[in-house]
Amino acid sequence: MGLSNTSIEYKKRIIKTWNEVAPRYHKRWAGKTIGPFQSTQKLVSMARIKSGNLVLDLACGTGAVTRQALKKTGKNGHVIGIDSSSTALKIAKKSTPYKNVDFAIFDAENFAFNQKFDVITCQYALFFFPNASKALANIKRALKKNGTLALAVHGAGDTVPYFSAIFDSVEKFIPDYLPSGAPDLDRFGTKNNLYKTIKKAGFTRIIVHEYTFWYSPGSFSAYWNNYLKYLAKPLREKLDKLSSKQKTELKNMVKQKTIPYTKNGTIKFPWKVLILSAKS
């Protein structure tokens, strides 16, 4: 079955967005171990990477998992990081000073290598793939027999209020804020859905751990201003079109949603993350 036009458009948009946001994403999130990025160590430990292993870090972004995987493979192993954003890959290359690593541009649904991998990792990306089952079939094919898949996804809906406080409100003012062909980014965000998806893809010995990390974006103003500062262009343009009355209403709606998490003027959000390991 061919790719639908909307899914091609969506992928193009994702590439453009990640090329734009990768530098700030690296600086603000992936280069640190705060909030959801406490998952990196846990994911790599669930992957049980051994010295000498060949590892693929799928949708490696700026290399957060790649660098931790390299510590486990040692000099005799090798890690390949692939992503569809050239800007993310450039940052990954620059910030990963190892000899036994390669970065390459590939789409998750269409990559192929001559060699098979001991371990494939994929952190915070499965939900971006419009045809995730195709990506999972690709992963399964690329793993050695009894190879390990280790992946992390964000929890769905209100389990990650950092996202839902803003997006549930934005949706009310800009119903088309997601590009056409966009998959539901929350669709793997419960233990049951994630488990079922991975099982359906033919993996075995599936283990899903749920974690709640904590993240403080500071005051409401800091949270809101940072959101506006780090926004990618397509949504920024839509927000700019709102009247100042609508903008104020939107900001107030978001603020209301942060109140349950605010104490002494500082927001502290819980952040659910699911980390899974499975065998090919």
Ligand X SMILES: C[S@@+](CC[C@H](N)C(=O)[O-])C[C@H]1O[C@@H](n2cnc3c(N)ncnc32)[C@H](O)[C@@H]1O
Residues that bind ligand X (CB under 6 A): 11, 14, 18, 30, 59-61, 64-65, 83-85, 88, 107-108, 123-125, 128-129
Cα(256)–Cα(193) distance, integer angstroms: 30
Q: Which residues pair with 209 in a beta bridge?
A: 275
CB nearer ligand X, residue 59 or residue 275: 59
The torsion region of residue 183 among left (phi > 0), alpha (psi -120 to 50) and beta comes to beta
CB nearer ligand X, residue 173 or residue 213: 213
Write down the least CB distance from residue 137 to ligand X, Å: 14
Write down the least CB distance from residue 153 to ligand X, Å: 10
Q: Which residues pair with 119 in a beta bridge?
A: 55, 148
CB nearer ligand X, residue 7 or residue 250: 7
State which H helix or E strand residue 152 sits in. strand 143-154
CB nearer ligand X, residue 86 or residue 204: 86
**In 3D, which of 62, 34, 67 has the Cα closest to residue 49?**
67
- Indicate the residue type of 114: N
277 touches 47 (CB < 8 A): yes
Write down the least CB distance from residue 241 to ligand X, Å: 27
Write down the least CB distance from residue 266 to ligand X, Å: 25
271 touches 162 (CB < 8 A): yes
CB nearer ligand X, residue 38 or residue 246: 38
Cα(52)–Cα(77) distance, integer angstroms: 4
Q: What angle do CA 106, 86, 72 make, to 5 degrees?
A: 70
Write down the least CB distance from residue 8 to ligand X, Å: 11
Write down the least CB distance from residue 256 to ligand X, Å: 27
55 touches 79 (CB < 8 A): yes
CB nearer ligand X, residue 30 or residue 254: 30
Cα(147)–Cα(91) distance, integer angstroms: 28
Report which residue's Cβ sits closest to ligand X.
61
Reading the block at residue 250, the tokens are 């939107």
Write down the least CB distance from residue 88 to ligand X, Å: 4
Write down the least CB distance from residue 111 to ligand X, Å: 8
CB nearer ligand X, residue 79 or residue 250: 79
What three-state secondary structure class fits 126? helix
CB nearer ligand X, residue 16 or residue 257: 16
Cα(71)–Cα(52) distance, integer angstroms: 11
